[in-house]
Amino acid sequence: MDVGCGYGHTTLELAKRCAHVVGIEPSQPLYRHASELAATAGRMNLAMRAVAVEDLDDVDSFDLVVLDNVFEHLPNQRLSLAKIRTCMGPQGVLFMLVPNKLWPIEVHYRLPLLSYLPLPLANVYLRCTRRGVDYRDASYAPTYFSLNRLLRAGGFEHRYVLPADIRLATFGPRRIYRWGAAAIQRCPWLWIVSKVFLVIGRKH
């Protein structure tokens, strides 16, 4: 299951490698685009559903659940994780990529310290810089410590991982990314200040 599948591109790629894939997307415009992409691809093992993760009622259905830059958009993260855990099979795996709230340059709007501000001030900052109007939708990024608490409370065992080949990441060819990955390998506590968290979880 691809949670918050957006335009459906990741969901389609997963369908090329998995027996059956479901993409869920609560935004109607994005859902329609994803559905059209799935129909064009003609893959019988791919389904799109216009539903929010909080409203899922599947039980023990999925071996893999993907949240690719989605968790920071979920206002009720505890409920979302509880629903995801219910949906996962006994040996299910959770793959999560989520930005770090403490990274000094906010990843969606690329504004310094935006994620540090209370929501009313963040909205003023967005409007003054003409980058946006309302920060609420992207304002739920966790810190290293809050993410650990959420996953443990949600019944997950988890670990932080690095890409097997950092060069395949979006900005992986940059030297600073290679240096950062090497530093985290040597000093895992540096995950606290990492730009993003890449997490693999299993049901406890």
Four-CA torsion 15, 56, 85, 196, nearest 10 degrees: 60
Q: What are phi and psi of 170, to 5 degrees?
A: -55, -45
Mean pLDDT of the chain: 95
Do 89 and 63 touch, CB atoms closer than 8 A? yes
Q: How far apart are CA 196 and CA 204, in angstroms?
A: 24
pLDDT tens string 72-83: 999 999 999 999
CB-CB neighbours of 178 under 10 Å: 14
- Listed by start position, the domains of the chain span 102-139
Which tens digit of pLDDT belongs to each residue from 28-50?
999 999 999 999 999 999 999 99
